[in-house]
Amino acid sequence: MDEIINIINNIGFPMTLSIYLLLHFEKKIDALTATIRDLAEVINSFNIEKQLFYMRPVNTTYKDIYTN
């Protein structure tokens, strides 16, 4: 009986800690994944603006494009 209690004491704490950390880090990883996805969308929108800028007529400036 003492052996079973000793095994539970030795295994229970590390297992509980591991489950807690897994759940805690899972939330953080989900938040980071969403942030990276949003950042990728912003970078793509900048690339589209950059492509539009280089496709402009020769005598047009960057300011002329975005003020109209």
pLDDT at 41: 87
Question: Which residue would you say has higher pLDDT here, 40 or 63?
Answer: 40
Q: Lowest-confidence range among 3-12, 34-43, 55-64?
A: 55-64
> How many domains in the chain?
1
Question: Which residue would you say has higher pLDDT here, 17 or 53?
Answer: 17
**Residue 62 neighbours by CB under 8 Å, 6+ apart:** 53
Instruction: State pTM to two decimals.
Output: 0.49
Reported as a single tens digit per residue, the pLDDT across 15-49 is: 888 888 988 899 999 999 999 999 988 888 877 76
Long-range pairs of 9-12 with CB within 8 A, sequence gap ≥ 24: none
pLDDT at 38: 93
Range of the domain at 61: 2-67
In the three-class reduction of DSSP (H, G, I as helix; E, B as strand; rest coil), residue 1 is classed as coil
Residue 56 and residue 65 in contact, taking contact as beta carbons nearer than 8 Å: yes
